[in-house]
Amino acid sequence: MKLLKQLKTTFIPEYEVPAVEHLNINGMTGLDMYVLSYLENPTDLKKELSPLLNKYDEWIDKQRNIEVEDNLIKQRDKHIKDMEEAYGRIKEGIDLVCDNDQYFEAFKFANEIMLYQRSFSEASKHYRTTGEHLKKMELKGRWRPFQLAFILLNIKSIIDPNCEERDFVDLLWFPTGGGKTEAYLGLATFVMVLRRLRGVKVGVEGYAGTTIIMRYTLRLLTIQQFQRASALICAAEYLRIQNPKKWGEISFSIGLWVGGGTTPNQLEGDDSAAEALHKLRNNEKVYGGNPIQLHNCPRCGEELTSKSYEISNGVFTIHCENSNCFFIHITYQLILLMKLFTVSVLLF
């Protein structure tokens, strides 16, 4: 056994990261999700989106005029070149959604889904904080400029399978609360609805199957993001079912795949979802996978209990117990609305 001969302390490096504030473009109605959802023609859409592009161009000009030390000039010029390329990609995105009827419809519907997702989330939050359901849900949602720009910047690489930009990895980085997830969800929604409009074409896969894969390194973060994305899927399904001829007979759905230690692998049998639900309904502890990963309705915030999760004849459903919610368990048609899966076998 060695004796301690020396004890010393040292410092931990510390750096204060400045807060990131999004630019507020006064009077720009093109950031309003409601406005973008219900425009009648592409000309109006271009009119709404152009101020975003113009403001970005003005901002780039300001960066060109920033004086830096000689050893930083080369790096500054590289950044400006990257900005100019981003500007070009955003402009192409605007042109594409305004010059093609199919892309125009997909962009509008994606905004409508995001509008309802935002409104669902606010209604759910209101109930969770006050214990009272909103009597009337207000359709209200607004993009931050970088979120809408990020979506437009990626439009071409989504639409064109031969686009060289498909080799790029576009990364958003902000501290928590900056709005990254909303930008990713907006882009994911555009991809989902565009596949619905395209159907099956040569070189382009139909809308059946998995469209988006979201992966997170922390399991807790994975579950949190699943909860956020569930509001999006519920909004998409609520709107799809009103016009299945246009947006497809197959439901929008989402699944959580994190391993048997967190969610069940099977519906029935040992260590299954059915067994876990049986234990929970009898106030017994579940040591393995638990299918109850959503604890509140994504639409209204009502608590989801073990009674909200059902397995019948090999079918897994989640329903809300609020009689005024869209997702209440009344008819087979309404069961289709909440297509959220937390049992691994249902994902394959």
What integer pLDDT is reported at residue 90 of this predicted model?
98
Q: What share of the chain is helix, strand, coil (3-state, %, to 5)?
A: 50, 5, 45
Q: What sections of the chain are H helices per DSSP?
A: 33-37, 42-64, 73-99, 101-130, 145-153, 155-159, 180-198, 219-240, 244-247, 273-281, 332-335
One-letter amino acid for residue 213 of the chain: I
Q: What is the pLDDT of residues 239-253, one digit of tens each?
A: 998 898 888 888 888
Pair of tokens at residue 247? 């947006």
Q: Is the pLDDT score of 175 beyond 80?
A: no
> Can you tell me the mean pLDDT for 95-107?
97
Where is average pLDDT lowest: 72-81, 129-138, 179-188? 129-138
196: left (phi over 0), alpha (psi -120 to 50) or beta: alpha
Q: Is the pLDDT score of 329 beyond 60?
A: no
Phi, psi of 130 (to 5 degrees): -110, -20
3-state secondary structure of 171: coil
Pair of tokens at residue 331? 């008819």
What integer pLDDT is reported at residue 207 of this predicted model?
62
> Can you tell me the mean pLDDT for 167-186?
86
Strand-strand pairing, 309-312 and 315-318? antiparallel
Q: What is the pLDDT of residues 143-158, one digit of tens each?
A: 999 999 999 999 999 9
Domain edges within the chain: 33-256+293-336
Per the model's pLDDT, the better-predicted residue between 211 and 93 turns out to be 93
Long-range contacts of 20-23 (CB under 8 A, 24+ apart): 20/174, 20/175, 20/178, 22/144, 22/145, 22/146, 22/178, 22/179, 23/55, 23/59, 23/145
| pLDDT confidence tier of residue 222, bands split at 50, 70 and 90 | confident
How distant, in Å, are the alpha carbons of 306, 315, 338 from that of 309?
Answer: 5, 11, 11
| pLDDT confidence tier of residue 334, bands split at 50, 70 and 90 | very low
Q: Is the pLDDT score of 331 beyond 50?
A: no
Q: What is the pLDDT of residues 256-295, one digit of tens each?
A: 888 778 888 898 888 889 898 999 999 999 888 888 888 9
Number of neighbours of residue 113 by Cβ within 10 angstroms: 29
Mean pLDDT rounded to a whole number for the chain: 87
| pLDDT confidence tier of residue 160, bands split at 50, 70 and 90 | very high
Q: Is the pLDDT score of 181 beyond 80?
A: yes
What integer pLDDT is reported at residue 201 of this predicted model?
55
What integer pLDDT is reported at residue 332 of this predicted model?
39
H or E segment to which residue 330 belongs: none
